[in-house]
Chain A
Amino acid sequence: MNRIGVFVCHCGSNIAAAVDVKQVAEALGREQNVVFSAEYQYMCSENGQKLIKNAVKENALTGIVVCSCSPRMHEATFRKTASEAGINPYMVEIANIREQCSWVHKDITAATSKAIILGRAAIAKVRFNEPLTVGESGVTKRALVIGGGIAGIQTALDIADAGYKVDIVEKKPTIGGKMAQLDKTFPTLDCAACILTPKMVEAARHENIKLYTYSEVEEVKGYVGNFSVKIRKKARYVRENLCSGCGACALKCPSRNSGNEFNTGLDKRGAIYIPFAQAIPNIPVIDAEHCIKFRTGKCGLCQMNCAAQAIDFSQKDEIIEEKYGAIVAATGFDIINLDKFGEYGYKTYPDVVTSLEFERIMNAAGPTKGHLERPSDGRQPKTLVFVQCVGSRDTSGRGKEYCSKICCMYTAKHAMLTREKYPDTDVYVFYIDVRAPGKNFDEFYRRAAEQYGVHYIKGMVGKIYDDGNGNLMVRGSDIIANEQLTIKADMVILAAAAKPDDSARSLGTMLTASMDTNDFFTEAHPKLRPVESPTAGVFLSGFCQGPKDIPETVAQAGAAAVKVIGLLSKDRLKSNPCVARSDSLICSGCSNCEKVCPFGAITYADARVNDGTGMETRRVAVVNEAVCHGCGACAAACPSGAMDLMGFTSKQIFAEVDAVCR
């Protein structure tokens, strides 16, 4: 039987000035099931709470209605009071008679009668409240970082340093990501390898970090604190435990037809190769597609030359299953395909390159050993033209709508480095806007223009063509000078738009993490929770959440790590008990609820049910309470009413509606 106590707060004069609190307490005291009713100056004060606790004890109350300020203010306070008084904290309802009554209605009669109605609604609701217990689940103290670029490495290092186990899954044969391919980094011009490789080594040596390179995530199951992940470790055809990393195999490999991915295809590598000298792990991999042994069955030179007997042509992909408490997506970026930008002749003219290719050309470890040589004839170019926004800020459907953010700065960097190393080179940059908001960024760009004499031209390139003598003619407009220019260039560098890596979409689906139309992961809140995915236990690091440069990526990687550490440091996860619940007797298993659930909290199971017509097996919805956030979309989508939301059940809301309309 319901025994409800009503507590009306004056809130000093905040409520009492516009609402006749005595009348409210009296009127509500006459309501059915109400056995106690009182008013007090400040219910949230120590004394007010004592009043509630005493009343609970003396009247054996089962439910509490507090008529006070907004539940957003003090619901938690009064729930705590209730629990201290010995009743379930979820047996408390608040009638908001301050923000939504006394403060907005001047007329005391109207405000008082509204306060009574709001009180009645709360009483009506509390009659149907059920004691709820906060759910708990364990936490696997291990994190998974997907992606081994700077974002993933930094996140993993930070988590590992805090004492938790971390696994990194990287699809390439080595960690390092895009940053490993870069030459210098803006705005300080320190060399990328010099700052990245120590971190790579640290990650490999760290006792808490395990690397799965040349591996991909195949399946993710479970929920926050309890993920179960299948990782496919692709066959390298090299036994990692035996290989000494001497590199003899790569030197002897007779196949030289495959483009070297690390050098963006500017030179060739063997079929067995180590991506680059500082690769981690320093273990080669066989590219079976180009390997002569795999194609013809004859060769095996690498095997003959391997002193460690590490080559194993019969190796198979391996599936590793592991449990994790948290998952970090750090899948990084790639640059867009430029096939749709015929006007720049990227594929037609070898001397039109992307910035990433230029990065390799300028890199001392690159295909030209750092000498500026153009790809077509190896000549040192005398005139360079940089084109920005190639596919960025493009709404025509050929590129991406967003600003790729990093291009302005790396173009300034390239221009500056070129002028520094080769002062006799003319460098032109076509730009739409130079976006350099960042610490020392604008100064950096201005230095390129002012000290290094880079010619910045506001305008875009409309066409690149060959003049017939092997020269690239770059025609563009200078819209400040209001003239059309044609520059005879030796080499053109395109700042192609950056996009999330292709693997992000399928990963998002596996993680049930939401993504935007550009395949960037969506954050739980754009301002206040920028490193968390709306899917609990999934965190975001680096470019996969939105365009970022290195310092921002590292900052976000650290932030994601802190969130992971915060999660893993808990032994038990408490969950909001106001979650959806499905009645297996009524559920038809139609899947409507599953389709509207934003968190993937609903699954289906075969249940043995007997609704009075005999025992049978039915497919019914099951809510994973650790994953459910309690939005109630499923409850409204369920035609039979089998799905309901605890704390906001249909019955409770009907009771409130009835009380309000009485």
Chain B
Amino acid sequence: MRIESDIILGKVKRLVSDGKADRVFAWKKGNFCYDTEPSLFTDNYVGFTYDDFCAANLCKFMINESKKDGKTLVLIKPCDSKGLALLEKEHRINRERIYALGVPCAGKIDMDKIRENGVKGVIGIEEEKENVSCNGDENLIIKTLYGDKIIPKKSVLYDKCLSCTDKEHVGCDEVFMPELSEDTYDGKKFEGVKKIENMPSDERFSFWRSQLSKCIRCNACRNVCPVCSCVKCIFDNDNSGIASKANSDDFEENLYHIIRAFHVCGRCVDCGECSRVCPEKIPLHLLNRKYIKDIKELYGYEKEPALLTFTKSDAEPSVIYERGEKNV
């Protein structure tokens, strides 16, 4: 069954009229069907939508929303819920002023991927009821100004949805229609990291240079990240010694991204927003996911973020040298 925006809106309205919240933070339709944007609804719900294009993670907005009096109802997808939980754990939000409504997610659609398929003039999307392809994958009917196109759903999902393993909400006040969530995981979460790890060191270097040299320091990755929630970022603080507004050379391109990855190391909730919002399409999640993989391999599961705890028998840093050098 398809997730209907109106049903969600109905639920939201009921909650507000029950006094669960004073305002609603959700998504709003833009000029086109695919440019939804996060929006605060205070008195009416004009433009309210929850559809396949509502990919943005809303939890970081709660830092400011929860400073206001009264309660904010926020729509939380399964992958966003971990971010919200982390913000709560790190005392960045006042959880009592938030009503987190878990909403189902069947994967979000990457407009760029639709365009890559040569489809233009998109006006809407529908699920194809018949003709389910033989491997069980769904097809989508893309409605365009020039007629309908049928595209396999998995080919147009965001990368972050394809590697999404979080289909359960955590820490929400209420989860609405969780049965409508769909598994979109392609089983290849660490493939990208492994591929880079298997490159010779020269190739790894060139790969990252070619990627990071594209960085325009728009700071979108930082600003969208639910983990990067410092009141003042170290890169914006003139007293920190490493403040920089723009990358003046390739060292600074590297520095910014290494330090950002290091700061979220062990805390990253792997929501994939950094890569989604990057205007230069730098696969930033590959940095964070490398840390997730390392932590898993070196330290296993832990309650505390990996850098804030230890065991006496932890691996020595020399494990890095012992990893086979692939280019010799």
Contacts and interface: CB of A to CB of B under 8 A. Distances in A.
B255 interface: no
A540 B194 CA distance: 51
Given A586-B231, A595-B309, A596-B308, A651 B239 contact: yes
A589 B239 contact: no
A595 to B, nearest CB: 4
A588 B92 contact: yes
B308 A640 contact: no
B231 A587 contact: yes
B67 A616 contact: yes
Given A650-B241, A651-B239, A588 B231 contact: yes
Interface of A: 585-592, 595-596, 604, 611, 616, 618-619, 637, 639-642, 650-651, 654
A583 to B, nearest CB: 8
Nearest to B266: A592
A650 B240 contact: yes
A22 to B, nearest CB: 34
Given A586-B231, A640-B230, A591 B239 contact: no
B2 interface: no
30 contacts: A585-B231, A586-B231, A587-B231, A588-B229, A589-B90, A589-B92, A590-B90, A590-B229, A590-B230, A591-B91, A592-B305, A595-B304, A595-B308, A604-B91, A611-B231, A619-B91, A637-B308, A639-B234, A640-B230, A640-B231, A640-B234, A640-B237, A641-B234, A641-B239, A642-B231, A650-B240, A650-B241, A651-B239, A651-B241, A654-B242
Contacts of A641: 234, 237, 239-240
Contacts of B237: 586, 640-641
A611 B237 CA distance: 12
Contacts of A650: 240-241
B292 to A, nearest CB: 17
Contacts, number: 58
Interface residues of B, number: 21
A588 B307 contact: no
Contact of A640 (B233, B241, B307, B309): B233
A60 B10 CA distance: 76
Interface of B: 67, 90-92, 229-234, 237, 239-242, 263, 304-305, 307-309
A633 to B, nearest CB: 10
Contacts of A589: 90-92
Nearest to B67: A616
Nearest to A654: B241
Contacts of A618: 231
Nearest to A640: B230
Nearest to A655: B241
A639 B230 contact: yes
Contact of B307 (A585, A611, A637): A637
Contacts of B309: 595
Contacts of B92: 588-590
Contacts of A592: 90, 305, 308
A641 B307 CA distance: 16
B311 to A, nearest CB: 10
A639 B91 contact: no
Between A588, A640, A654, the greatest number of chain B beta carbons within 10 A of the residue's beta carbon is seen for: A640
A592 B234 CA distance: 15
